[in-house]
Chain A
Amino acid sequence: MDINVCNGECNVMSVIIAVIIFLILAPLVGGLISGADRIITARMQSRVGPPVLQPFYDVLKLFGKQNLVVNKYHGDYVLCFLIFTILSGCIFFGGGNLLLAIFALIVANVFIVLAAYCSNSPYALIGADRELLQMLSAEPMLLLTAVALFQVTGSFNVSEIIKTNRMPFIYLPGVFIALTYILTIKLRKSPFDLSTSHHGHQELVKGLTTEFAGPSLAYFEIAHWYETVFMLGLVYLFFANVPILGVLVVIGVYFIEILIDNVNARFKWELMLKSAWLATLILGVGNLFLLYILSF
């Protein structure tokens, strides 16, 4: 009885510690990844690039700027986007239910879309619709990943998935590849940066972030760091039983993302939707079918 109580408390303590570590480390890691991303991108384009800490300087500067908003609710939705992104990360890194974590991420995503919708700006509205299309393209594969991991490890809880003694990747190579495919959509990188594409590239004026300025834009950036860490955590789960390999794969996958970002022109939304769903159906669902037939 006593042991049980202790176990329970220790569990709660370890969850709280994990969550606190995540809250502090994730933006640091996310920011550094973003900085490294910019340097590598610059090198690929034969430029020197900014210092690795540049994303942090940017965000700090944004906080110092005037808080320009188009209406009084606008900034609050961005804040909710940040909060729910953090929450999804907390559920994930606290070892909680993977499905719930993904649903929390979806809620966060809905909030950023709402932020764009409420701005009454045609550019932001187009960005919002495009973000919705990106969600429509990517969400099935995200959830399917959770189902696939469950079928291999027998649990939806991240804390139990990482304790597995078999490597999910060996059973789920198709799911893994499909996940990396939609990762580009979730990270809003080219060729799937439809919803936040830059001024100068084309007519869309930075998509759904068009009307964010100052602190709102800073929140958006920070949320993006958390989002990146969450997504890479999902990639890591496929190699959870060999942590070093997991970290290496995560770095490799992110490098490939940067490479794809730099060598591709933007897709049209139809191509994005079709290719993402095809990848999900053929690689993801196909993988599950194989798993079912072979029933390891």
Chain B
Amino acid sequence: MDWVTFLILFPLIPAVLLLFTKKNYEAQKWIVLISSILIIIGSIGLAVEQIGHTGGFRYISSHFTNNLVMLGDVIVALVFLYICRSLPLKKYWIPLMVVIQYGLVLYYDFAGKMPEMNRYIFLDNLAVIMALVIGIVGCLIAVYTVGYMKKYHEHHHEIPDRSHLFIATVFLFFFAMYGLVFSNSITWIYFFWEITTLCSFIMISYSKTEEAMNNAFRAVWMLLIGGLAFAMGIIYAANVCNTIDLQLLLASKKSLVLVPILFLCFAGMNKAAQYPFGGWLLGAMVAPTPSSALLHSSTMVKAGVYLVLRCSPILQDTDAGAIIALIGGLSFLAGSALAISQRNAKKVLAYSTIANLGLIILCAGIGTPFTLSAALLLIIFHAVAKALMFISVGSVDNATGSQDIEDMYGLCYNMHRMGIIMIIGISGMFLAPFGMLISKMAVIQALALRNPIFPPIVIFGGSLMLFFWTKWMGYLIAITDKKPVEYHKDIGIEWIGLWGLAGLTIISVVFYPYIGKLWIVPMYGECPLFSEGVQLTILLMLVMMILPPLTIVARRRNVVFTKPYLAGVNVEEKGEYLGSLGASRSWSFRNYYIEKYFSEKKLLNATILSSLILWILMFVMENVMS
């Protein structure tokens, strides 16, 4: 048995085992720990094995596996319909979408209209890097989930404890993700694709509250639109192009396969929450935090960008590719701007996810080797830092009962370790020399050559990002007058996930040139980003970054402590000052959210409208031309 089969099938074992561990925390913990370690070993083993190779197929000639996938399709379709049973009649179109897309695909399957193929598995470095991201980041989140869910139910007694189901879903997610990135048959990808939709439904609806159910169904119908596009892509490919072999499609003449590829890209961008479909990702926030961490970082949305990246050879130098890049750019700008006006930490993170995914889509739409290298780096760095941010917000929420950034004022003072971890995460998201910024630099360099539209988009979006991350970071490091309250004594196994991801955020910056040389360069060719000059400067900056913690550790002499200036005599104990009438007066401070310009009310509709126009423009253009 090779690593690929192991990685696809193994997650099913813990997924099934966990179903029998209702309220058995110890059993959950050990199952998750052991299988996480195995999955991480598997991912790394696969990556090491793949060094020096560029890509290869696995042939499966027996029909058995393919029949199994068909059976799986039937089961998934039935599960979808089962879920929809609780829907009111007026939402008949949700099950209708299920029926239409599965009807089409299954009809073709059973009528034998699908073209024959035997190259079911395709393994190249893109799949390897995805496997690493899924395995390492995903498993750290899984370990965190065990501890988090225990505390979640201690705080939310009203919600029935079905945490075993939740964690089992996490592993089902891994199964679907691994299947998705290794498959070469688009019907197989479709099968795994819909399982991820199903998993996200289970996670979002976890608490069974009305809001959770609404948002879960919103996610389902939005994602089913993508599924529908995917199904149409399959049918078109089977009928017109006469193949469902993805690599064969990608190697065909552009004009011939552009339409099915565009359908797949549509599905990918739908899953990556690009506008106009950004809504489902925001709604997914109601779920327990680990699910957000999982959906936003290593799974789900990354499946979307993965598919678009896969298709990028066809998109390169086409008008459709340019429009896809524009839609990505639009999501990048809109997501960054909208994040400024949000107070809820998870919402800020969600919008920044949409923004960063937009940047990746932008790179994929341009499709030059340089932008693709940058996109891969973005995938890696974003997964690590975003997962870290989500799980730390989750732990803060468990400890303080609030996700409001305004309540995080002085967090470093109250929760030292958690504060430091969050600062590492935020730095990873936007500050030089950490990952996301390196990648953003790569994107600017890669785009600068080509035209005057895309670099300004990246630059403006990046500046907006700088704004909301810095103001959040400033809140964390503030030192308040109040005595610190030690919150995190009850964080247990979560530390593995927290410190693991925090460490990864830093380590990935040090080792990114090696990731580049071993896996990215063989695939996309040399890229100036891995040149020694840039590397050296980045390392230098990283060393400089050690200074702030060092200076904090070093005790300095001759320091005289004083009180902040408050335009009046300070009242020592309370952090207040004496007003003109001799009464002690308090002061308070709220951050800028600039709702006048960046609120959802101002921006959301315009964004959705313009993205819709771009999509329509693209499909119309393609039809006119072909």
**Residue pair A107, B541 in contact (C-beta under 8 Å):** yes
Q: Given A113-B470, A117-B475, A139-B466, check contact A147 B448 (CB 8 Å).
A: yes
**Residue pair A143, B466 in contact (C-beta under 8 Å):** no
A177 at the interface (CB under 8 A from B): no
**Residue pair A107, B467 in contact (C-beta under 8 Å):** no
Q: Out of B462, B538, B540, B562, which one reaches A69, CB within 8 Å?
A: B562
B82 at the interface (CB under 8 A from A): no
**Residue pair B467, A70 in contact (C-beta under 8 Å):** no
1/0 contact string of B459-470 vs chain A (CB within 8 Å): 110111011001
Q: How far is the CA of A108 from the CA of B534 in the complex (A)?
A: 19
Interface stretch among B13-21, B109-117, B553-561? B553-561
**Residue pair B565, A135 in contact (C-beta under 8 Å):** no
Q: How far is the CB of B2 from chain A (nearest CB, A)?
A: 42
**Residue pair A147, B459 in contact (C-beta under 8 Å):** yes
**Residue pair A205, B533 in contact (C-beta under 8 Å):** no
1/0 contact string of A267-294 vs chain B (CB within 8 Å): 0000000000100110011001101100
1/0 contact string of A81-103 vs chain B (CB within 8 Å): 00110010001000011011001
Which single residue of chain A is at the shortest CB-CB distance from B577?
A: A122
Interface stretch among A46-54, A72-80, A223-231, A242-250? A72-80
Q: How far is the CB of A291 from chain B (nearest CB, A)?
A: 7
List residues of chain B with CB within 8 A of the CB of A121.
564-566
B252 at the interface (CB under 8 A from A): no
B444 at the interface (CB under 8 A from A): yes
**Residue pair B564, A68 in contact (C-beta under 8 Å):** no
**Residue pair A117, B477 in contact (C-beta under 8 Å):** yes
A118 at the interface (CB under 8 A from B): yes
Which single residue of chain A is at the shortest CB-CB distance from B467?
A: A136
Q: How far is the CA of A80 from the CA of B552 in the complex (A)?
A: 11
List residues of chain A with CB within 8 A of the CB of B580.
none
B582 at the interface (CB under 8 A from A): no
Q: How far is the CA of A100 from the CA of B445 in the complex (A)?
A: 11
Which single residue of chain B is at the shortest CB-CB distance from A116?
A: B474
* A contacts with B, residue count (CB < 8 A): 70
Q: How far is the CA of A52 from the CA of B471 in the complex (A)?
A: 38
**Residue pair B477, A120 in contact (C-beta under 8 Å):** no
B610 at the interface (CB under 8 A from A): no
**Residue pair A75, B544 in contact (C-beta under 8 Å):** no
A45 at the interface (CB under 8 A from B): no
Q: How far is the CA of A280 from the CA of B558 in the complex (A)?
A: 46
12 contacts between A and B (CB under 8 A): A69-B559, A70-B479, A76-B552, A118-B477, A119-B479, A120-B564, A122-B566, A135-B466, A136-B466, A136-B467, A139-B466, A140-B460
Q: How far is the CB of A23 from chain B (nearest CB, A)?
A: 14
Q: How far is the CB of B151 from chain A (nearest CB, A)?
A: 30
Q: Given A69-B562, A80-B547, A99-B441, check contact A104 B459 (CB 8 Å).
A: no
A62 at the interface (CB under 8 A from B): no
**Residue pair B466, A71 in contact (C-beta under 8 Å):** no
**Residue pair A70, B541 in contact (C-beta under 8 Å):** no
**Residue pair A285, B452 in contact (C-beta under 8 Å):** yes
Q: How far is the CA of A210 from the CA of B462 in the complex (A)?
A: 29
A217 at the interface (CB under 8 A from B): no
B521-564 at interface with A (beta carbon < 8 Å): 533-534, 537-538, 540-541, 544, 547-548, 551-552, 556, 558-564
Which single residue of chain A is at the shortest CB-CB distance from B588?
A: A122
B412-452 at interface with A (beta carbon < 8 Å): 431-433, 437, 441, 444-445, 448-449, 451-452
Q: Out of B444, B534, B537, which one reaches A147, CB within 8 Å?
A: B444
* B contacts with A, residue count (CB < 8 A): 58
Complex A-B, nearest 4 residue pairs according to Cβ-Cβ distance, in ascending order? A117-B474, A121-B564, A288-B452, A103-B432
Q: How far is the CB of B77 from chain A (nearest CB, A)?
A: 48
Q: Given A118-B479, A119-B564, check contact A75 B559 (CB 8 Å).
A: yes
List residues of chain A with CB within 8 A of the CB of B551.
76, 79-80
Q: How far is the CB of B241 from chain A (nearest CB, A)?
A: 36
List residues of chain B with CB within 8 A of the CB of A146.
444
Q: How far is the CB of A207 from chain B (nearest CB, A)?
A: 12
**Residue pair A73, B474 in contact (C-beta under 8 Å):** no
List residues of chain B with CB within 8 A of the CB of A68.
560-562
Given contacts A76-B552, A103-B437, A135-B463, 12 further A-B contacts (CB under 8 A): A75-B559, A87-B544, A96-B537, A100-B538, A118-B479, A129-B471, A132-B467, A143-B444, A144-B455, A144-B459, A210-B564, A285-B452
Q: Out of B552, B566, B587, which one reaches A73, CB within 8 Å?
A: B552
B456 at the interface (CB under 8 A from A): yes
List residues of chain B with CB within 8 A of the CB of A117.
473-475, 477-478
Q: How far is the CB of A88 from chain B (nearest CB, A)?
A: 10
Which single residue of chain B is at the shortest CB-CB distance from A15?
A: B533
Q: How far is the CA of A87 from the CA of B363 in the complex (A)?
A: 30
Q: How far is the CB of B79 from chain A (nearest CB, A)?
A: 47
A133 at the interface (CB under 8 A from B): yes
| B444, B470, B544, B547 pick with most chain A CB within 10 angstroms | B470
B481 at the interface (CB under 8 A from A): yes
List residues of chain B with CB within 8 A of the CB of A234.
none
Q: Given A68-B560, A69-B560, A135-B467, check contact A120 B479 (CB 8 Å).
A: yes
1/0 contact string of A16-48 vs chain B (CB within 8 Å): 000000000000000000000000000000000
A7 at the interface (CB under 8 A from B): no
Q: How far is the CA of A106 from the CA of B469 in the complex (A)?
A: 13
Q: How far is the CA of A151 from the CA of B455 in the complex (A)?
A: 11
A176 at the interface (CB under 8 A from B): no
